[in-house]
Structure 1
Amino acid sequence: MQELTDFMGEAWRTLTDSFVLKALLAVIADVAIYMIGLKHVQVLGIFILLVFLDLITKWAAISYQMLVEMGANADNLTALDKYIAIPAAWGTGLISSKHMRKPFVTKVLTYCLATGAAWCFDYMAGQYAFAVNIVWLYLGSVELLSILENMRDGGNTTISGLLDVVHARVDMILKK
């Protein structure tokens, strides 16, 4: 049992080492796959980009709150200020690796499992991409709403109106 635990720990460390380089190589691979034309993998790449945007906007919202709590005037903070403050939020422990790995892995696994199950349903039903499109619409909508909410929480007051429109549109689509 200890060997299995050691192996999993080493595998996790190897996976997270040189994250930026691995992410860059993943983008290059995704572009190559996109050019080949595998639609499910293409959409997975787009979903991964949405998850990255969600994480980055979450970090920006956390650093914005940190700056406000430290006494910065919210009206004087620029959009760039909250992104520049992300390393400081890491340094204070407000942002940790759990804010990156856990949500990312969970969301990508959810995408893969839900898409796989929907594909099986479509295959059994003889439909082309009915259930898969529903899964993609739902997961993409959830990520979009999360990004907009993070932007709002990060001090972007003009996004509230857009967030209301998106909420109403998504609700309308899902209620059909």
Structure 2
Amino acid sequence: MLTESFAIKALLAVVAEVGIYMLGLKHVQVLGIFICLVFLDLFTKWSAIGYQMLVNMGANPENIGGFDKYIAIPAAWGKGLISSKHMRKPFITKVLTYCLATASAWCFDYMAGNYAFAVNLVWLYLASVEFLSILENLRDGGNTTITGLLDLVQSKVDMLLKK
């Protein structure tokens, strides 16, 4: 169903996004960015699954090119390693969680008379979780150079949480 009239849906989404940015609805703008992060997280997860499929089929990890794991995504779909049902449910859950957490934070900020604290905290947390997930997926997809960055980000996040 997602791919039916995809070009029209994508064009309307772009038009809607431009309209939203022109109106300056910050919460909706950030929701759009968060949705992009979730899509990127799913895509990197698919590439990691494609990479693992290639390794399981006997490919040498050193010989797998950066583009090979992305080409392997349709084959992983065909083998049932990637299921639309399993990927759609987390996407909807993440977006609904974002909306609920942002709405709750906005209510808190409104009641407290501080219009930036809780909402920014929620946005920072949710974006950080997505960012870490993307880095982990890249690492799991055979990108060894990302391991150092992932370790650095995780240590900084841990340090901030311990304060």
Q: TM-score range by the shorter chain?
A: over 0.9
2:155 is equivalent to residue 168 of structure 1? yes
TM-score (norm 2): 0.93
Question: Deviation at 1:41?
Answer: 0.6
Equivalent positions of 1:77-156 (< 5 A) are 77-156=64-143
2:6 is equivalent to residue 20 of structure 1? yes
Q: How many angstroms apart in 1 are the aligned matches of 2:5 and 2:82? A: 16
TM-score (norm 1): 0.86
Q: Which runs of 5+ in 1 are unaligned?
A: 1-12
Give the counterpart letter for 1:52 in structure 2: F
2:25 to 26, 29, 38: 38
Q: How many angstroms apart in 2 are the aligned matches of 1:20 and 1:75? A: 36
Q: How many angstroms apart in 2 are the aligned matches of 1:24 and 1:65? A: 34
Say if 1:55 and 1:99, in contact at 8 Å, map to a contact too: no
**Count of residue correspondences:** 162
Question: Deviation at 1:98?
Answer: 1.9
Question: Deviation at 1:133?
Answer: 0.5
The structure-2 alpha-carbon separation of the partners of 1:151 and 1:38, relative to structure 1 and needing over 3 Å to count, comes to same
* Counterpart in the other structure of 1:71: 58
Quick one: percent identity of the two aligned structures? 77
Q: Which runs of 5+ in 2 are unaligned?
A: none
Q: How many angstroms apart in 2 are the aligned matches of 1:28 and 1:51? A: 20
2:47 is equivalent to residue 51 of structure 1? no
2:16 is equivalent to residue 29 of structure 1? yes
Helix, strand or coil at the partner of 2:39: helix
Displacement over 6 Å in runs of 4+: none
Q: How many angstroms apart in 2 are the aligned matches of 1:19 and 1:132? A: 35
Cα offsets for 1:130-165 (capped at 9, x unmatched):
100010010000000000000000000110000011
